[in-house]
Structure 1
């Protein structure tokens, strides 16, 4: 499948497609981090604010700054309850608009494979946290079948169809994440795997939700109707329904944490 830029410009669609998945993984991620309350956070690639909301709800931060390139996503984020505290800005993960040592913790939630230069993005996170501050991320295992959309991507690939994938999927490998964190000079590096499941009312619920992805919708929209029906049949076979017609799908993320040396 082709690797090219994927633009997330619809906050409401992202919420239905990926926001629910993000929060499920984010809950486990924050349980693992167990951060102190009252920190200053920067949420890089905050998108529509799905993970930012978790930070505000669970971590009692004194400050949260959200950065994302999509103004449409940010507009949705600003409608969330988290906006009573969090501030959202349009910006670039590789050139954060903040001074050195501005935050206690920097996070990217499901973002790193979309950053054109992941190493530069990690170095920017390092730069903006204080000495002793934490730099963290979780990212779907894009090369190991962990993406929630992989049931569809895999069948598209088997059918020889084109598709759009993030530009730096290699950065989702656990070994690659560790290399990036150590290469940036971070210490006390730890990793873990996060597995989550999501139950849909039926196959149509799964299919409709998944097609809100800008990585899938244009590809499926351009397919012949017969090919779409074949694709649906193949994906349906991968996700058998239970006795009530519900579909349960799984996803797997890789998480990493490290501290800037004091």
Structure 2
């Protein structure tokens, strides 16, 4: 199961599990990116449209296109208010179905470790962005323990439960991202570390969220009831609650941006 492909087909479940984390990291990322209004945007690996909606709401875009392999996720994205501006397409990050120089900016939010050939994905973003345009990404620091549910994954592994692993977990290291961007011929490459915090109302809120988590839900559902109870107890100890019962903890992402050279 450790090598099982991770699929996100349920937009609503993903929204609860990762949508809030995505929003927190996305806001910090856009603050750092500081994009200009009027850009033509491409959101690569748009999923259920959480970040796409932020582009529509915050960046005054001329247009926004989102692309993702999952029709289930795209159906959720198309139901968002952002769909009044954004268009969503099914497709592959390594073979973008767009002509050269079609966008002013391409962004890959929380996606690069899911791309089997990250270098090819970055090269495709650079291809479809016009000279002088922006190519950027942010992704959880998987190798450095920055993933929001790393504590859960660590406890599962300690119990001998296989945790699905994305195909390119090392691609989100900050040095790896810099190398991918410079390797694609992008200029003025900069990197940035993002730390965000999320609060859950109480442990039950956290537990219900991870039980519906698209990447671990099936593994948890397959566990024997006694083992699942033990995992729940371990996580309750690992995530100490405040006096109100609220649980707050942080996650860390790495970000990178660069420009397509003038030709």
TM-score by length of 1: 0.98
Unaligned runs of 5+ in 1: none
Aligned to 2:197: 197
CA contact (8 A) 2:13 2:214 kept: no
Q: CA deviation at 1:165?
A: 1.6
Deviation at 1:60, TM superposition (A): 0.4
Question: Offset of 1:151 from its aligned partner?
Answer: 1.4
Partner of 1:248: helix, strand, or coil?
strand
Structure 2 equivalent of residue 219 of structure 1: 219
Is this contact kept in 2: 1:15–1:48, CA < 8 A? yes
2:9 is matched with 9
Does the residue aligned with 1:245 lie in a helix, a strand or coil? coil
**Deviation by residue 1:3-54 (Cα, 9 ceiling, x = unmatched):** 3311100011111110111010000100001100000000010000000000
Question: Alignment partner of 1:3: what SS?
Answer: coil
Q: How does 1:1-262 map to 2 (within 5 A)?
A: 2-262=2-262
SS in 2 for 1:30: helix
- Secondary structure of 1:182's match? helix
Specify the SS of the correspondent of 1:43. strand
Q: Deviations over 1:187-231 (max 9, x none)?
A: 100001100111101111111112222221111111111111111
- 1:47-75 deviation digits (Å, cap 9, x = unpaired): 00000000000000001000000011101
Between the two proteins, the alignment pairs up a number of residues equal to: 262
Partner Cα distance (1:103, 1:236) in 2: 46
- Taking the aligned partners of 1:162 and 1:31, their CA distance within structure 2 comes to 37
Q: Is the 8 A contact 2:113 2:168 kept in 1?
A: yes
> What whole-Å deviation, never above 9, does each CA across 1:89-113 have from its counterpart, x for those lacking one?
1011011110000000000100111
CA distance in 1, matches of 2:154, 2:141: 14
Contact 1:4 1:167 in 2 (8 A): no
Distance between the aligned counterparts of 1:78 and 1:217, measured in 2?
24
SS in 2 for 1:189: strand
CA contact (8 A) 2:8 2:215 kept: no
Q: TM-score, normalised by structure 2?
A: 0.98
For structure 2, the 5+ residue unaligned runs are none
Higher deviation after alignment, 208-217 or 178-187: 208-217
Task: Answer yes or no: is the 8 Å Cα contact 2:14–2:214 preserved in 1.
Answer: no
